Amino acid sequence: MPSDMKERIAREFAQLARTKSVDKITVKDIVEACHITRQTFYYHFQDLIDVIDWSFHRIAEELVERSLKLDSRQQVMELFLSEAVHADGMIRRLLSSQLREQTERLMVESIRICFQEMVDRKALFQDVSRSDVQVALDFYTFATVGILLEYCSRPNLDVKHLAGQLVSLMDGSFQKRSRED
């Protein structure tokens, strides 16, 4: 039951953020929207940052599980981009608030967790030093977050095409592909 309550609190926070500035949302607002006591809120979360943190990590876990069922890196990148496009409004509201720094950190952490889980579960980079794997994960994490922030709010974004470009860039076939487009 506790995760159901956490889910409910996170959902109400997201709902409130659609109509109200993130900086103006209070624990009282969430408590009233959920019809719960402050004690119940604080039983599940320390503060609003904790709600956002939990939400990002839950989404990252879901993305990992969904991505592991896909057959190609192209499909995985399409999934990441589609989810980011879907969440772009909320991400923009968080980035426009006083929570910008925490939001950026959570985005980086969440994407990094996804990539690390995929590397671990699919046993990728087995012949690569741990240090090199960490640098690669950092590179792909920061590049992906940057692309998500730059491209996902663009109208009429062709997710499939952008995913193909990113995968081509990652596997080194980007130059050859660029001449063919």
Q: What is the pLDDT of residues 94-123, one digit of tens each?
A: 988 998 898 899 889 988 988 888 888 888
Torsion of the alpha carbons at 110, 55, 83 and 24, rounded to the nearest 10: -110
pLDDT in tens, 10-64: 999 999 998 899 999 999 999 999 999 999 999 999 999 999 999 988 988 898 8
pLDDT of the residue at 1: 45
d(CA 117, CA 112): 8
Check residue 98 and report its DSSP letter.
T
pLDDT of the residue at 181: 53
Torsion of the alpha carbons at 75, 81, 86 and 89, rounded to the nearest 10: 170
d(CA 54, CA 141): 19
- Predicted confidence (pLDDT) at residue 168 exceeds the cutoff of 50: yes
- Predicted confidence (pLDDT) at residue 179 exceeds the cutoff of 80: no
pLDDT of the residue at 180: 53
pLDDT of the residue at 175: 65
pLDDT in tens, 115-166: 888 888 888 888 889 999 999 999 989 998 898 888 888 888 899 999 999 8
CA 46, 89, 78: angle at the middle one, nearest 5?
A: 105
CA distances from 126 to 101, 121, 144, 165 (A): 34, 11, 22, 26
pLDDT of the residue at 173: 77
Structure tokens at 120: 């671990």
How much is the pTM? Answer: 0.78
pLDDT of the residue at 67: 86
* Number of Cβ within a 10 Å radius of residue 53: 19
